[in-house]
Structure 1
Amino acid sequence: MKSKMTIKNTLLKAMPTLMLTSLLSACGGGSDTATDPKPDTGTPITPLITIDDEFGFWLTDLANNHILPSYQNLQDTSALLSSQAVDFCDQQNQSSDELTALQQSWRKVMSSWQTIQWLKVGPIVNDNRIFRMHYWPDSKDSVGRGVTNLLTTSELVTEAFIATQSVGSQGLPALEQLIFADNQHSLLTASDQAKRCEVLTAISANVATISQDVNSEWQIIGGNYHAQLTQGTGDFSSKKDAVEELVTNWLEQIERVKDEKMLVPLSVASPGIPSIAEHVLSDESVISIQKNIATFKVIYSAGGGHGFDDILIDHLSQQNIATEMLTAIDNAIVSANELTGSYETLLKTPEGRVQISATIDVLRAVRDVLTVDFVQATDINIGFNSNDGD
């Protein structure tokens, strides 16, 4: 698709035609009489770029620079994990190094997912894929019960069988329970090792298939959901509607990170509630939070393309709001990156709890700028209703 400059240049190509029209009008329709006034050859007429055009530039660059690459990365890492799971389970005697490699492969898939987790439009929401990929929060232990049921069933667990099970049984959290299990239930030593490998390979294949299907449906040569988003058609009534949907998704992710990933596990006092954090077994909670928050800047800037900063400054003359928004996001990124070590340790130590609280506060600042100054300046409506009361 065209970059912001290519699209703008396309519009600017209309300049000669517009200038000719203006000149003809100035000459009384093109008469060649000697009494006609000379045409004005001063400042050329520049085509008017509307806010709808600006939204289109942002949608296109966000799709090209962030959404499509993120889903491609998710497909690639998921396929690799599925292949490694098969290779791991085909061996007679697996080593701890091989299990570590499998765990690292899972981490790469999870990292890929966390960069695009915020987006809740298009193929990922079809067929319940978003929950089949990553079911969390899980207050009723649907993942744990689902994995247990798979391990105890007498049926052969295949990818097709997995796809018919509860969403908690199908995705990355279920794989986490298998790949990061304690010594008693480890893929290396468990008494039901063969069954665990059967379930592992089936769920890995299911995750790979979901990732491939979602990516294919986004691609221009595939289902081309790209066109719906960037042109404001199909699921969207206009480009502005598409922007409003995505900004709503962005706000929901800000609230999710702030509340479900941080505020709830922090609880009211040490040691917090680490057991309900997003990644208890793998201890990827901090990294996932950092990935999420880093993505906020990618959303704002359209991955370094025609971002909201361009719209606010160049089109709306709102330099102060652009600066305020970018500063809030940068502060959140810096604060999140200062979270280091085990999430459980951060939740229970005074220093760690102060750091988590500070990150929560800067996320509130991002939310406040987004929901007040930003939406007023851009004249967009967001459909999210915050119920956290903070």
Structure 2
Amino acid sequence: MQRLTRLLLACTWLLASGLAVAGDTTDLDRQARHLWYDGILSGYQALAREAQTFARVAGDYCQAPEQTTLAQVRDAWQRAFLAWQAVRFVDFGPVENDNRAWQFQFWPDPKNLVARKARALLTSGAPVTREQVEQGGVAVQGFPMAEYLLFDDAFGTSDQALPATSSCALLTAVAGHIADNSQQLLADWQAFRPHYLDTAQFRDTTLRAGVAALEILEERRLAQPMGLRGTGKRSVYVADAWRSGRSLAGIEASVRGLHQYFFPGLALLLEHSDQPELGPWIDAQFGEVLEHFPALRQPMAPLLAPEGHFGALQGLYVDLSQLAVLVNDQAAVALGVVRGFNSSDGD
């Protein structure tokens, strides 16, 4: 009888303590913000580190250009670009200053403004300077411009192809801008810590950022190139990073970033909600999406071709859509998040 009594008391204590934690929503929300802050900090640190490496390798290549070192520059660009993809979901705070997100990645680019800006700079007859990049607008300043110089097929066979002097000047200026921008973003995020942790509204702001990122992943970055949205025609040119063939690698990096930096805070909140089962379901669905890789670490264009393995993209799309439903339609509702207008999708 005493053992039964102790067991009942223990169960009662566990239930009461669980309700106490769940009831202290202010403390719980702050714990979630701590998890999000630390995760985003890790992501920004990785971005700053990889961007610095990209700038250094690009400078080394232009000092002594060789085909092998060009491959190293392309690899450094990819690592920095994928580090950006991992934190791309953050659409609030310091990344909003001076259109920083757009400085990192001008996309969508339906008018091919990146290529037009590059041609204008390289054919002007004037030396390309860092000041021109700083003042040239977001289409000049980020990863897509560097991608054009490093990967565009037509440009790569032109008279201005790397390591032409003007093209190298543009590449090193853009890489330097990305590196400086990354370092400043990291410093500003570190300074932003007290405000983020002490401001209750950033709970919903962060949740909405994850929701918006999944919407963009599903609708813009995957469904539209597949012809499931928009014109209804398959086209790799509406995807991001199509020149380098890294569209799917970018999607993988964004999903991993959401899982690593966004999900822990979401899981904590769901654990103490009236639908605690959603956390493990979402975790498992992240795994389902990521299981499509590394098989899909390849260019998207061949998969979109009539004879391509389109079914692989369809499988990824189905699993990504299910993840979006769990997070956007179920978890957000369970946590009382009102979904608002998203300004980071290029509209």
Residue 292 (structure 1) aligns with = 254
Contact 1:178 1:186 in 2 (8 A): no
Amino acid at match of 1:55: D
Residue 74 (structure 1) aligns with = 47
Relative distance call for 1:271 and 1:121 in structure 2 (3 A) is: closer
RMSD: 2.9
Amino acid at match of 2:334: A
Relative distance call for 1:324 and 1:227 in structure 2 (3 A) is: same
Q: How far 1:242 moved relative to its partner?
A: 0.6
Take 1:185 and 1:323, find their aligned partners in 2: how far apart are those partners?
Answer: 47
Contact 2:208 2:337 in 1 (8 A): no
Contact 1:132 1:167 in 2 (8 A): yes
Amino acid at match of 1:61: L
Amino acid at match of 1:228: H
Q: How far 1:350 moved relative to its partner?
A: 5.8
Residue 231 (structure 1) aligns with = 198
Residue 370 (structure 1) aligns with = 327
Take 2:163 and 2:268, find their aligned partners in 1: how far apart are those partners?
Answer: 57
* Structure 1 SS opposite 2:309: helix
Contact 1:329 1:366 in 2 (8 A): yes
Amino acid at match of 1:282: S
Percent identical across equivalent pairs? 21
Relative distance call for 1:191 and 1:296 in structure 2 (3 A) is: closer
Q: How far 1:373 moved relative to its partner?
A: 2.6
- CA deviations on 1:30-55 (whole Å, 9 max, x unpaired) are xxxxxxxxxxxxx8997944122111
Q: Residue 337 of structure 2: which of 362, 380, 383 is its match?
A: 380
Take 1:100 and 1:108, find their aligned partners in 2: how far apart are those partners?
Answer: 13
TM-score, normalization by structure 1:
0.76
Q: Residue 235 of structure 2: which of 265, 273, 285 is its match?
A: 273
Name whichever of 148-157 and 243-252 sits farther off.
148-157
Determine if the alignment matches structure 1 residue 53 to structure 2 residue 11: no
Contact 1:245 1:382 in 2 (8 A): no
Contact 1:82 1:201 in 2 (8 A): yes
Q: How far 1:338 moved relative to its partner?
A: 4.3
Moved over 6 A (4+): 43-47
Contact 2:236 2:301 in 1 (8 A): yes
Q: How far 1:368 moved relative to its partner?
A: 1.8
Q: How far 1:183 moved relative to its partner?
A: 7.3
Contact 2:160 2:167 in 1 (8 A): no
Contact 1:162 1:169 in 2 (8 A): yes
Q: How far 1:384 moved relative to its partner?
A: 4.2
Contact 2:122 2:160 in 1 (8 A): no
Relative distance call for 1:187 and 1:84 in structure 2 (3 A) is: farther
Amino acid at match of 2:255: I
Contact 1:293 1:336 in 2 (8 A): no
Take 1:184 and 1:279, find their aligned partners in 2: how far apart are those partners?
Answer: 16
Residue 176 (structure 1) aligns with = 147
Give the paired residue count: 327
* Structure 2 SS opposite 1:319: coil
Contact 1:251 1:384 in 2 (8 A): no
Residue 124 (structure 1) aligns with = 95
* Structure 2 SS opposite 1:279: coil
Determine if the alignment matches structure 1 residue 152 to structure 2 residue 123: yes
Q: How far 1:351 moved relative to its partner?
A: 6.2
Take 1:332 and 1:275, find their aligned partners in 2: how far apart are those partners?
Answer: 23
Relative distance call for 1:95 and 1:188 in structure 2 (3 A) is: farther
More RCO (CA 8 Å, sep 6+): 2
Residue 142 (structure 1) aligns with = 113
Take 1:188 and 1:95, find their aligned partners in 2: how far apart are those partners?
Answer: 17
Relative distance call for 1:128 and 1:336 in structure 2 (3 A) is: same
Take 1:104 and 1:385, find their aligned partners in 2: how far apart are those partners?
Answer: 32
Amino acid at match of 2:153: D
Contact 1:187 1:196 in 2 (8 A): no
Take 1:191 and 1:73, find their aligned partners in 2: how far apart are those partners?
Answer: 27
Take 2:159 and 2:119, find their aligned partners in 1: how far apart are those partners?
Answer: 18
- CA deviations on 1:172-229 (whole Å, 9 max, x unpaired) are 100001112337636998498111111111111111111111111111xxxx112222
Contact 2:62 2:163 in 1 (8 A): no
TM-score, normalization by structure 2:
0.85
Take 2:294 and 2:250, find their aligned partners in 1: how far apart are those partners?
Answer: 11
Take 2:85 and 2:227, find their aligned partners in 1: how far apart are those partners?
Answer: 23
Residue 355 (structure 1) aligns with = 312
- CA deviations on 1:110-163 (whole Å, 9 max, x unpaired) are 011010011111111101111111101100111111111111223332222211
Determine if the alignment matches structure 1 residue 62 to structure 2 residue 24: no
Contact 1:179 1:187 in 2 (8 A): no
Contact 2:218 2:317 in 1 (8 A): yes
Determine if the alignment matches structure 1 residue 248 to structure 2 residue 218: no
Which runs of 5 or more structure 2 residues have no equivalent in the other structure? 1-12
Amino acid at match of 2:296: L
Residue 40 (structure 1) aligns with = none
Contact 2:114 2:144 in 1 (8 A): yes
Identify the structure with the greater helix proportion.
2
Residue 219 (structure 2) aligns with = 259
Name whichever of 286-295 and 47-56 sits farther off.
47-56
Bigger Cα Rg: 1
Contact 1:286 1:339 in 2 (8 A): yes
